Amino acid sequence: MKSVLDNYCVLQKLWDTTYETQMASFDFLYGVILGYELLKHSDNLSKALQHKDMSASEGYDIAHLTVYTLSKLRTDDANDQFWGSIDTKLDNVDVNEPTLPRRRKLPKRYETGDADYEYPSSSKDLYRQQYFEALDMAINYIQDRFDQLGFLRYRRLQDSLLKSAVHVEDPTAADDIKHGMYVYKGDINEVAFGAKLDSLRTLLQRRYHDLNSVILCDIVKVFQDMKPTSRLLFSEVVTVLKRVLVMSATNATSERSFSAFRRLKTFLRSTMTQGRLTHWMILHVH
C-alpha cells in the first residue's frame, strides 16, 4: 500500500511540474490570448444566433458582419499591435521569452522543388504564421456554415416574404420570389403568390405603423390570430410560411429542451418512470 501511495505522489508531482512548465511557456500565453481575441467575436455571434426570433436573413447578415470584423484583424498592422500587447503582458506574468525552435531540414518526401526551406528569422515571424492561420480557420468555418446551398435557399424563401410584404423598396425582392417559386414550383403558384403578397402588405400596414420594424415572427402572429376561413385569402402565403416554419432558422430552443432533460434525468434517477419524467419536464420548462 505504501509503494502505491509513493508512486502516486511521484506521478502527481511529475504532473504538477509538467503542468506548471506548460503554463509558463510563451506558446501557452500566446495561444490563450489569441484564442480570447477570436472567441470573443465567435461567442458573441453564437449567442445572437440562439435567439428564438432570429430569422435566416438576419443570421446571415450578422455572421458576415462577424467575418468582416475578423477580416479586419488579418493585417500586418493588426498583427504588430497584437504582438505588442503580448510583449507588455510578459512583464507582469512569469512566462519565458519566445524562442525559435531548432533549425531542422524538411524531410525529403515533402520537398517539391529546389528552393531552400524557408525558416523564420525571428520569433515574431514564427508566431505571425500562427496568427494568420487561426484567423483564416475561424473565418472559413463561419463562411462554410452560412454559404451552404440549403441555407441560401431557405434564406431566400424567407426573404421572399419579408422583402415583398415589408421592404418593398428592396430591388432584390423579385429575384428572391423567382428563386423560391423555382424551388417550389409544383406547390406554389407564382401569379397567385404575388397577388396575395399585396393583400398581406395591406393587412400589415393596418396593423403596424412602421413596416420596417416588422419581422418574421410578427407575420406568423398575424396568421395565428386570423380565423381559418380568413387564411384562405392568403393560401399561397400560408404555404410558403409553413415551409419556413418547418425548417427553423435556429435550433437553440430544441437544444435547450435536451439540456433540461440532461439536468433532470441523472444517474441517481435511473428508476424514474416515463410519466414522472414528463411531469418533471413540464414543471421545469414552465
**pLDDT tens digits, residue range 28-81?**
888 888 988 898 998 998 888 887 777 777 888 889 999 999 999 999 999 999
Same domain, 175 and 234: yes
Maximum average pLDDT range among 66-80, 146-160, 206-220, 272-286: 66-80
Rounded to 10°, the helix 274-285/252-264 angle is: 120
Confidence at residue 71, expressed as pLDDT on a 0 to 100 scale: 93
Compute the distance between CA of residue 233 and CA of residue 7 in angstroms, rounded to an integer. Answer: 80
Number of domains in the chain: 3
Q: What secondary structure does DSSP assign to 147-213, as a single string? A: S-HHHHHHHHHHHHHHHHHT-TT-TTHHHHHHHHHHHTTTT--HHHHHHHHHHHHHHHHHH-S-GGG
Q: Per-residue pLDDT tens for 87-127? A: 887 777 777 777 777 777 767 776 666 656 667 778 888 88
User: Is residue 126 situated within a structural domain?
Assistant: yes
Confidence of residue 10 (pLDDT cuts 50, 70, 90): very low
Mean pLDDT over the full length of the chain? 77
Q: Is the pLDDT of residue 220 over 90?
A: no
Confidence at residue 137, expressed as pLDDT on a 0 to 100 scale: 92
Same domain, 65 and 140: yes
Same domain, 140 and 32: yes
Confidence at residue 2, expressed as pLDDT on a 0 to 100 scale: 44
Q: What is the distance in angstroms between the CA of the first residue and the CA of the last residue of the chain?
A: 53
Using DSSP's 3-state secondary structure scheme, residue 55 falls into coil
User: Is residue 113 situated within a structural domain?
Assistant: no
Same domain, 129 and 238: no
Same domain, 6 and 128: yes
Same domain, 39 and 127: yes
Instruction: Report the predicted TM-score, pTM, of the whole model to 2 decimal places.
Output: 0.68
Q: Which of 62-76, 131-145, 158-172 comes out lowest in average pLDDT?
A: 158-172
Confidence at residue 136, expressed as pLDDT on a 0 to 100 scale: 93
Question: 157: domain range?
Answer: 149-246
User: Is residue 112 situated within a structural domain?
Assistant: no
Q: Per-residue pLDDT tens for 226-264? A: 888 888 888 888 887 887 777 666 666 667 777 788 788
Same domain, 130 and 25: yes
Same domain, 228 and 260: no
Same domain, 9 and 68: yes
Same domain, 162 and 224: yes
Q: Is the pLDDT of residue 173 over 90?
A: no
> Percent of the chain scored above 70 by pLDDT?
76
User: Is residue 186 situated within a structural domain?
Assistant: yes
User: Is residue 85 situated within a structural domain?
Assistant: yes
Same domain, 163 and 51: no
Same domain, 241 and 128: no
